[in-house]
Chain A
Amino acid sequence: MARRARTRQLTGAQRLIVLLVFAYLGLILVLPLGAMVIRALEEGPGILLLTLTEPAALQGLLLTLMVAAICVTANGIFGVAGALVLTRHRFLGRRVLDALVDLPLAVSPVMTGLAFLLIFGRGGWLDGPLDLLGLKVTFAVPGLVLATLFVTFPFTLREVAYVLEELGTSEEQAAMTLGASPWQTFWLVTLPNIRFGLGYGIVLTLARALGEFGAVLVVGGAISGRTQTATTFIYNALEERQEAAAYGMALLLAVISVALLVAIEWLKRRRERGE
């Protein structure tokens, strides 16, 4: 199979369409990002270093990375388990569960934050029991983690489920007839086969977790040094007219995003090749 489509001579109308698409992409994607990068670099090349040495910024970045790491781990495990349940079993309520998985994609993150406040916040449903246990969720790190988990939940599950569906069950059945236990079948056959889909899901989860703003702002309150994340740091810095700090952090996030984008493209291709 040819991996690269042959380029053909385009007709005039086709050229116009291609041109329009590029102009559109340039306007809404490249221009804003470019402006941001240029503005950040105007502050001097040492701006990234400056950001990494400022305590509040560094704390925000580390907090974001920690939350993202927790989300990748938890949603990685539950995503694979959930995908296996959804694709390999037929049970009552499967369709409902299947639809529910996409809920976080449909709900605005700000609403998510509000919902978590209702449950865990002052006077919320679980406020009493949590108080007794001495646990604080809202305006604290656990709240940020919960909100981000919710927002990033569908990515790994959907990617892995897609690959599992494509894969079918015959290799797993072959492993079973050869004497493999269900656990051996998972580790030796299923997991290696879904690894690129899983990788893709993890990268998407990571990108979403690093960029989450609305939910963590509402649940966490962006308290400097405690619940301020990378994105809420930018927001606060702009509010306080510390533009250099805002652009520095933004540039840093952009650099990470580009790295993730490269990873996404690579994984997507490996996944599509079905290796």
Chain B
Amino acid sequence: MGIRVAGLTKHFGEFLAVDNVSLTVESGELVAFLGPSGGGKSTILRIIAGLETADAGTVSFNGQPADHLHPSARGVGFVFQHYALFRHMTVAANIAFGLRVQGASRRRQAERVTELLELMGLTGLGHRYPSQLSGGQRQRVALARALAPEPKVLLLDEPFGAVDAKVREELRHWLRKLHDEVHVTSIFVTHDQEEAFSVADKVMVIHRGRLEQSGTPDEILDHPRTEFVARFIGEANVFETRVQGGAGPVGALRIPVEGIADGTPVCLVVRFYDLKFWRDDQGCARVVRMTTLGDRVKVEAQIDGAGRIFSQFPRRSSLLHGIEPGCRIHIEVTLSRAFMTGTEDGAIETAADC
């Protein structure tokens, strides 16, 4: 089932939680809402489920407006961040709940419970109570419970936020595999970029109640449309400066900027993997710190007359050859994105070598 959200706005008191958001999720897609905490992702999800009422805007399923529908009539499966399992019911009773309230026969309920316990790798745990399960198991029960009535849409609110890193990794694979098997239209909320990019077909970046950008993981990574996306996604160097003779000066480093008038304030965003450092005694920066991060080395350098810039290189890479703390380096910017401060125009991409 396709979901369309148009002009959605929601206030909590004075606070604008969702600001005129419009988006479309195609039938069968697995979409991630990505953004920092408190950005409105969960609120949008809850409005789609009918758990919150929007101040303005509409939600429609397959072209049919759904705003007037009670949550119970929307055919939406919802997985809550802290599971929200029924604590007084066994795992089996939790999973059967949706079918039970619909008046399905006991036999049908039992069949579906067995089926889902197996699908979720929970066989043999049907008689347990939620308090007797681990975090990862609880999350899978929550998922099974949401899937039992065969919802047309599956919504997951920070589904892996409350479990530890290793289990989270495992559950991500689960979700992806599950989606490939069941093909139910799904949206999950996360503030974890890796999670969004590794699981979703499409990522929607949401910040301060607004949809910043929507696209495939590659589109978001390679073509950030707004300053926020460029800064938030991937680790980036950010420089605030004013255009001067076709370039943005950052101390002794000059990053070319095309098509922006002189004097315009710009924000230059440079990803660490769009940078190269060469040892050069005439270079414009000095290495101040080198930190080994497992298989990579983070190099921080002080640009003459400006702030710091950092990059990362694979350990033992030839790119690190001759680079050591205190040495002077030449910086090559293979790709930089310029955003005009205070506008919503897209990025202007350029490269520099200095």
Q: Which residues of A contact B (CB under 8 A)?
A: 170-171, 173-181, 184, 188-189, 192-193, 274-275
Query: Is B72 among interface residues, defined by CB-CB distance under 8 A?
Result: yes
Which A residue's beta carbon lies closest to that of B155? A177
Q: Counting CB contacts under 8 A, is B191 at the interface?
A: no
Question: Are A176 and B98 neighbours in the complex by a CB distance under 8 Å?
Answer: no
Contact A171 B86 (CB under 8 A): yes
> When the two chains form the complex, which single residue of A176, A184, A192 contacts B51, counting CB atoms closer than 8 Å?
A176
Contact A177 B49 (CB under 8 A): yes
Indicate whether A179 sits within 8 Å of B82 (C-beta atoms), given known contacts A171-B87, A173-B51.
Answer: no
Q: List 12 A-B contacts (CB under 8 A).
A: A170-B82, A173-B78, A174-B78, A174-B86, A176-B72, A177-B49, A177-B77, A178-B77, A179-B98, A193-B87, A274-B87, A275-B87
B152 to chain A, nearest CB (A): 12
Residue count of chain B within 8 Å CB distance of chain A: 27
Say whether A175 contacts B77, CB under 8 Å: no
Asked, given contacts A173-B51, A179-B72, whether A188 binds B84 with beta carbons under 8 Å apart, the answer is no
List chain A residues, Cβ under 8 A from B100.
188
User: Which of B70, B88, B97 is within 8 Å of A178, CB to CB?
Assistant: B97
B143 shortest CB reach to chain A, Å: 12
Smallest CB–CB gap between A52 and chain B, Å?
40
CB neighbours (8 Å) of A173 from chain B are 51, 71, 78, 80, 84
Q: Is the CB of B84 within 8 A of A174?
A: yes
**B101 to A275, Cβ gap below 8 A?**
no
| A193 and B87 alpha carbons, distance in the complex (Å) | 8
Q: Which residue of B lies closest to A189 (CB)?
A: B86
Q: B145 contacts which chain A residues (CB < 8 A)?
A: 174, 178
User: Which residues of chain B come closer than 8 Å to A177, judged between CB atoms?
Assistant: 49-51, 71-72, 74, 76-78, 146
Given contacts A177-B76, A193-B88, A274-B87, 6 further A-B contacts (CB under 8 A): A170-B80, A170-B82, A176-B51, A176-B70, A178-B77, A179-B73
Contact of B101 (CB < 8 Å), options: A188, A192, A193: A188
For the complex, give the distance between the alpha carbons of A174 and B145 in Å: 10
Whether B149 sits at the interface, judged by CB under 8 Å, is yes
Residues of chain B in range 82-105 having any CB-CB distance to chain A below 8 Å: 82, 84-88, 97-98, 100-102
B212 to nearest A CB, angstroms? 28
Question: Bound state CA distance, A177 and B86, in angstroms?
Answer: 13
Task: State the Cβ distance, B99 to closest chain A Cβ, in Å.
Answer: 9
A170 to B51, CA, bound (A): 10
Given the complex, which residues of B lie within 8 Å of A274, measured CB to CB? 87
Residues of A within 8 A of B80 (CB): 170, 173-174
Contact partners of B71 in chain A: CB under 8 A: 173, 176-177
B101 lies within 8 A of A180 (CB): yes
Cα-based distance from A175 to B88 in the complex (angstroms): 13
Q: Are B76 and A184 in contact (CB under 8 A)?
A: no
Q: In the complex, A266 Cα to B238 Cα: how many Å?
A: 62
**CB neighbours of A174 from chain B (8 A):** 78, 80, 84-86, 145
Q: Within 8 Å CB of B98, what residues of A? A: 178-179
- Within 49-89 of B, Cβ neighbours of A (below 8 Å) are at 49-51, 70-74, 76-78, 80, 82, 84-88
A177 to B84, CA, bound (A): 12
